[in-house]
């Protein structure tokens, strides 16, 4: 069974997730840690829990979800896993950072492409990769069938679908998600969002 730890990072209030199994292996999803204290918070949690990071995963590559990719890669020697359609979004992220007044250094390592329908295997636990475009051209979600939750990035916002007015967003594709990839997963009980604090 996977434990889910969330962090809210950067002024954008992006949600970063660490999913860990009973054997201490973990995955880091959408590291949005922008400031030094945020990077330290993520590292301290992983070290204090005795976790061993195995995967660096991006649901999509808007700037707030990739601020910490370089840090995670350099700290734990992990390549970045992303959908191939997100490569131009990732390449554009530093320019967007300048436009938002949040300059940062982008990840420059190896890319491992996520294939919808395949699984991320973390010892006995599995996360199925779902293709969820619309908010971004290569948005994916990570679905744990056993526990009934989906890490969906920004496919859903609080009380809304994810915005589609950013570069690469397509409204009709976002609206069609529930009838495609997500619609086939009838056991989703908990969709975990990528941005915004959850209600207490």
* Tens-digit pLDDT profile for residues 129-167: 999 887 889 999 999 999 999 998 887 655 444 444 455
Taking residues 10-27, what's their average pLDDT? 95
Res 155: pLDDT: 78
Report the first-to-last Cα separation within the chain, whole angstroms: 24
Write the burial class of residue 130 (CB in 10 Å: 0-12 exposed, 13-18 middle, 19+ buried): buried
Residue 13: pLDDT band (50, 70, 90) is: very high
Strand pairing class (52-57; 80-82): parallel
Q: By the 8 A CB rule, do 51 and 25 touch?
A: yes
pLDDT higher than threshold 50 for residue 17: yes
Per the prediction, the chain carries an average pLDDT of: 85
Q: What is the pTM of this model?
A: 0.84
Residue 16: pLDDT band (50, 70, 90) is: very high
Q: What percent of the chain has pLDDT over 90?
A: 72
Strand pairing class (119-122; 111-113): unpaired
Residues 6+ apart with CB under 8 A from 152: 59, 132, 141, 182, 191, 192, 193, 194
Q: Report if residue 200 sits inside a domain.
A: no
Q: Report if residue 117 sits inside a domain.
A: yes
Strand pairing class (149-151; 190-192): parallel
Q: What is the pLDDT of residues 99-127, one digit of tens each?
A: 999 999 999 999 999 999 999 999 999 99
Res 94: pLDDT: 97
Q: Report if residue 89 sits inside a domain.
A: yes
Q: Report if residue 169 sits inside a domain.
A: yes
Q: Report if residue 113 sits inside a domain.
A: yes
Distance between CA 191 and CA 151 in Å, rounded? 6
Count of CA atoms in the C-beta half-sphere (13 A) of 10: 24
Q: Report if residue 197 sits inside a domain.
A: no
Res 135: pLDDT: 80
Domain of residue 136 covers 3-192
Could you give the dihedral angle defined by the CA atoms of residues 180, 182, 184 and 189, in that order, rounded to the nearest 10 degrees? -160
Res 183: pLDDT: 46
Res 153: pLDDT: 84
As for how many domains the chain has, the answer is: 1
What CATH number is attached to the domain comprising 138? 3.60.15.10
pLDDT higher than threshold 90 for residue 59: yes
Both tokens assigned to 56? 């660096």
Sign of CA dihedral 23, 25, 26, 27: negative
Q: In this predicted model, which residue has the larger pLDDT, 25 or 189? A: 25
From residue 72, how far is each of 5, 11, 14, 52, 163 by CA, in Å?
16, 19, 16, 12, 27
Res 76: pLDDT: 98
Write phi, then psi, for 4 (nearest 5 degrees). -115, 120
């Amino acid at each position: 069974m996977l434990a889910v730890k969330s962090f809210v990072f950067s002024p954008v209030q992006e949600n970063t997730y660490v999913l860990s199994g009973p054997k201490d292996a973990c995955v880091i999803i959408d590291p949005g840690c922008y400031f030094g204290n945020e990077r330290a918070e993520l590292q301290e949690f992983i070290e204090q829990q005795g976790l061993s990071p195995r995967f660096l995963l991006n649901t999509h590559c808007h700037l707030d979800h990739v601020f910490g990719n370089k840090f995670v890669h350099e700290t734990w020697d992990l390549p970045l896993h992303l959908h191939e359609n997100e490569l131009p979004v990732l390449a554009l992220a530093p320019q967007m950072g300048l436009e938002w007044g949040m300059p940062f250094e982008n990840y420059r390592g190896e890319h491992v492409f996520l294939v919808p329908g395949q699984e991320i295997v973390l010892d006995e636990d599995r996360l199925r990769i779902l293709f969820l475009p619309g908010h971004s051209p290569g948005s994916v979600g990570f679905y744990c069938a056993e526990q009934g939750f989906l890490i969906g990035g920004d496919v859903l916002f609080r009380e809304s679908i994810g915005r589609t007015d950013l570069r690469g967003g397509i409204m009709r594709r976002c609206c069609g998600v529930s009838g495609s990839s997500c619609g086939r997963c009838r056991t989703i009980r908990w969709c975990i969002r990528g941005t915004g604090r959850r209600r207490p």
